[in-house]
Amino acid sequence: MHTGTRWHYTLLIALLATLAGAFVGTTAAAQSDTDPNDAGVFGQLSFEDEESGEDVPAAGVTIEVEGVGSAETDENGEFRIAVPEPGNYIVALDVETLPDGVNLRNPDANPLEATVNQGRDRRVLFPLVFGEAEESTVGAITFRRVAQLTAEGLKQGLYLAMAAIGLTLIFGTTGLVNFAHAELVTFGMLSTYFFNFYGLAGVIGFLAPLPPPFGGGVNLALAAVLGMLSGALLGWALNRFIFRGARRAGVSLIAQMVMTIGLSIVMRYVFVYVFRGAPRSFGDYAAQRAISLGPVELTPKDLIAMGLSVLILVGVASYLELTRMGKAMRAVSDNRDLAESTGIDVERVISLVWMSGAALAAASGVFFGLDQTKWDFGFRILLLIFASVTLGGLGRPYGALVGALVVGLTINLSTLVIDAEVKNMVALLMMALILMFRPQGILGRAERIG
């Protein structure tokens, strides 16, 4: 049994490494068709303060160039987004991110069309005003929009699934609802960012001048693998040094749940302490032009990330179904005492579940981070992760997968009829409905959970 388990650790790591290898290969291929030059769109956002009459820069506003990427304005209200090649681009401002009380002077002039010429930056103007804005209208339902939203929903659902499966596995084996799971997503995202920019040892600051891969940053693909490995390490450490002791001391599950909340606050504010409040982008593949697949437009990095997440999810499923360790995980999940009495080392299973759950969450963070990295990203999708897990039935890994896809698709398609601003509310509504009519979740068995 002992050597057997070790063999499975190796298998897991080998699996991750293989996937990472695939990532390197495919992203390198994708990189060749984006040739970054110096052109981009830029601008400065500011509004007149009501009282002082001074121009105040609007910081932290998200600007997106359709099919290329997004950026947020810095403290001077300035932003710049590099575009891969000259041409016409659609530039959109995310109204939700404007400072309190500030609106677009002309809401109809958003998104804008901007022509970028060879080697020249193009200025775009979004005049802001403190106070009134016009009513927004939800666009017409067209086949094109439905297809695009379905693709985006699928993308969000796949990434969510990786985070949700980890949460549901930890719940299944230990009975603990881990409120800090969202921070594990952020951890993967941010550690990847740091490996991407500062390299293996350069993360420790004074070692940064070392030659790559130790200092100075590594390619995003390698950084992502390192991010996942450090996620797994963190998961192991959290279990080993915090929750294993709590379980042994007989700390109740509710107290452990409060512990995870404390942990989540600590992690979140350590993140903002180190990473600061502004969102950033990874160093590679930040500017990519979308390619059309029929009615759908996605960037190559999105396609690769989606493919990889499918691979990872299939990998997880086969691991759970085919290997001894995976079967042990499911056994502990079903009935801990029974599993223990058949000779399964439950603590070992739990440790591995924490590691793989955290690694999956980190992977989810890396994929979400392709658009943008931010210190509180995980917390912003916590509601969606919980909705996925609840929808699928707490403790059921395949349920979490199905739940995540349903959540991703539903909230994205819901923007056909409601404002994108409030799409996350739909997830809560779904959660309330499922709890009322099928509390065991879509794939859960009907058993007493009251």
Partner 1 sequence: MDWGFILERTFSTMFGVEVMVFAMAAVGLNVQFGYAGLLNFGQVGFMAAGAYGLGVSLSYFQWNFVVGILFGVVYSIVLALILGVPTLRLRADYLAIVTIAASETIRLFVRWRQMKEITGASEGIGGFADPFYDVAINPFNPGQRYEFGPFSYLGRDLWVLTVGWILLIVIVLLVKRMMSAPWGRALKAIREDEDAARALGKNAYMYKLQALMLGGVIGGFAGMLQVIQKGSIQPDTFNPVITFTIWAILILGGPGRTWSPIIGSMIYWTLISFLENVLRGLPDNQADALEDTIKLSDFNVSQVRFILVGLGLLLLARFRPQGIFGSREEMALDDR
Contact call for residue 133 and partner 1 (CB under 8 A)? yes
CA distances from 402 to 37, 154, 219, 431, 442 (A): 41, 11, 32, 14, 8
Amino acid identity at 59: A
| Among residues 129, 233, 265, 311, the one that binds partner 1 under rule CB under 8 A | 265
CB of 376 to partner 1, least distance (A): 10
Residue 28 binds partner 1 (CB under 8 A): no
Q: Site residues for partner 1, window 340-399 (CB under 8 A)?
A: 379, 382-383, 386-387, 390, 394
Is 269 near partner 1 (CB under 8 A)? yes
Q: Is residue 322 within the footprint of partner 1 (CB under 8 A)?
A: no
Buried residues in 404-434 as b, exposed as e (16+ CB within 10 A): bbbbbbbbbbbbeeeeeeebbebbeebbeeb
The reply on whether position 90 binds partner 1 by CB under 8 A is no
- Residue 119 lies near partner 1 (rule: CB under 8 A): no
Question: Is 262 a residue that touches partner 1 (CB under 8 A)?
Answer: yes
Q: Does 422 bind partner 1 (CB under 8 A)?
A: yes
Identity (one letter) of the amino acid at 15?
L
- Please report how close the Cβ of residue 269 comes to partner 1 at its closest, in angstroms: 4
Number of residues located near partner 1, criterion CB under 8 A? 55
Cα Rg, the chain, nearest whole Å:
23
Minimum distance of partner 1 from residue 221's CB (angstroms): 32
Residue 257 within binding range of partner 1, rule CB under 8 A: yes
* Cα torsion 339, 345, 349, 351: sign: positive
Q: Binding to partner 1 by residue 237, rule CB under 8 A?
A: no
Q: Does 7 engage in binding with partner 1 (CB under 8 A)? A: no
Minimum separation from the CB atom of position 340 to partner 1 (A) = 19
334 makes contact with partner 1 (CB under 8 A): no
Part in contact with partner 1 (CB under 8 A); list of ranges 9-17, 115-123, 402-410, 434-442: 434-442
Is residue 264 involved in binding partner 1 (CB under 8 A)?
yes
Q: Write the CB contacts of 186 (distance below 8 Å, at least 6 apart in sequence).
A: 267, 268, 271, 365, 374, 375, 376, 377, 378, 379
d(CA 413, CA 114): 28
Stretch of 69-77, 215-223, 350-358, 432-440 contacting partner 1, by CB under 8 A: 432-440
Task: Kindly identify the residues of this chain, within the stretch 165-224, that bind partner 1 according to CB under 8 A.
Answer: 177, 179
Distance CA 98, CA 60 (A): 8
82 vs 93 by CB, closer to partner 1: 93
Q: How far is the CB of 393 from partner 1 (least distance, A)?
A: 11
- For the CB of residue 410, give the shortest distance to partner 1 in the complex, in Å: 15
Q: Rule CB under 8 A: is residue 110 a binding residue for partner 1?
A: no
CA distances from 1 to 7, 295, 327, 343, 352 (A): 10, 52, 13, 9, 15
**Binding map of partner 1 across residues 390-409, x = CB under 8 A, - = no contact:** x---x---------------
Of 277, 195, 199, 261, the closest CA to residue 228 belongs to 195
At residue 141, φ and ψ (nearest 5 deg) are -85, 110
Single residue of 272, 278, 293, 314 touching partner 1 by CB under 8 A: 272
Angle at 250 between CA 247 and CA 256, to 5 degrees: 60
Rounded to 5 degrees, φ, ψ at 321 are -85, -40
Would you say the C-alpha torsion 241, 244, 250, 251 has a positive or negative sign?
positive
Q: How far is the CB of 389 from partner 1 (least distance, A)?
A: 8
Which residues lie across from 89 on neighbouring strands?
A: 114
Instruction: Kindly list the residues in this chain that would bind partner 1 in the complex (CB under 8 A).
Output: 95, 98, 100-101, 133, 135-136, 177, 179, 242, 246, 249, 251-259, 261-270, 272-273, 379, 382-383, 386-387, 390, 394, 419, 421-422, 424-425, 427-428, 431-433, 435-436, 439, 449-450
